[in-house]
Amino acid sequence: MCFFTIIPLGMDEKTLENTARYLHLSLLIGSIIGFLAGLMMTVLRPISRILAGILTLAFIEVITGFHHIDGLMDFADGLMCHGTPEDKIKCMHDKFVGVGGCVASFLVILATIASLIELNTPLIIHALIITETSAKLGVVYLATFGRSASRGMGKFFISTFQSSYKYSKFAFAVMYAICISLILLSWRGIIIPLITLGTAHIILLISLRSFKAITGDVMGATNEIVRLVCLISMLVMTK
């Protein structure tokens, strides 16, 4: 919990190792964050739909420490960088943010807010629980099937997660996401985990082609992109 949120519960090397080893349990944290965000948006919605959308996404990003949106910016910069996979990874790891990162993050944030605004009021809490859970499922998919870079946080997370029972942990994550989606969205809910896995797989292929590996930034970007794709999918399904 302390790694995925800004809640000051204390963190040391052992905590980080356990976080990586039990990454599949992050879906539960996603569900909690989604529930809290849904409550917030439901309260703010009568005041202003636009304000509710902006503040709800702001709450999600703040409580997660802006880790994932930072990963999205670095991921986009890496994709826009010319050169070898090593050059692209180096570009992702530098302290500067390029045009690709700025534009990508702006578009994803804008589209996410727009999607939140368009949600039907009765579905707000359900939608946010499902999308935040799905975002974590996308990260678990990369941790299960990805190949880590030679260094960085992504290497630690992937190698630790894959060190034992990775397919069993992945199966747990998938089943949990399916159950949440079915409970909250009825039979249509089965579509969301499938869309999540498809989106994560596309990001995996793009990353392996561009970087020959998965980094922590790629995993963070996956969280943001999957959330947006799932929100848009739910809008299409419920219109």
Over residues 197-226, mean pLDDT: 94
Residues forming a β-bridge with 148:
214
pLDDT of residue 2: 45
* pLDDT one-digit tens code per residue, 20-52: 788 889 999 999 999 999 999 999 999 999 999
pLDDT of residue 152: 66
What band does 121 get if pLDDT is binned at 50, 70 and 90? confident
* pLDDT one-digit tens code per residue, 67-79: 889 899 999 999 9
Q: How far is residue 64 CA from its own chain's centroid?
A: 10
Cα(79)–Cα(89) distance, rounded to whole angstroms?
A: 9
| Alpha-carbon distances, residue 66 vs 61, 70, 189, 203, 213 (angstroms) | 5, 6, 28, 20, 23
* pLDDT one-digit tens code per residue, 214-231: 988 999 999 999 999 999
CA-based diameter of the chain, in Å? 51
Is residue 212 pLDDT above 80, yes or no?
yes
Nearest of 107, 108, 118, 68 to residue 234 by alpha carbon: 118
- What does DSSP assign to residue 9? -
pTM for the model stands at 0.91
Over residues 200-223, mean pLDDT: 93
Confirm if 149 and 86 have CB atoms less than 8 A apart: no
What band does 12 get if pLDDT is binned at 50, 70 and 90? low
Mean pLDDT in the chain? 89
Q: What percent of the chain has pLDDT over 90?
A: 60
Backbone angles phi, psi at 148, to 5 degrees: -75, 155
| Lowest mean pLDDT segment, chosen from 22-36, 98-112, 133-147, 157-171 | 157-171
Is residue 117 pLDDT above 90, yes or no?
yes
Over residues 200-213, mean pLDDT: 94
Which of the pair, 7 or 205, is modelled with greater confidence? 205
Which of the pair, 96 or 150, is modelled with greater confidence? 96
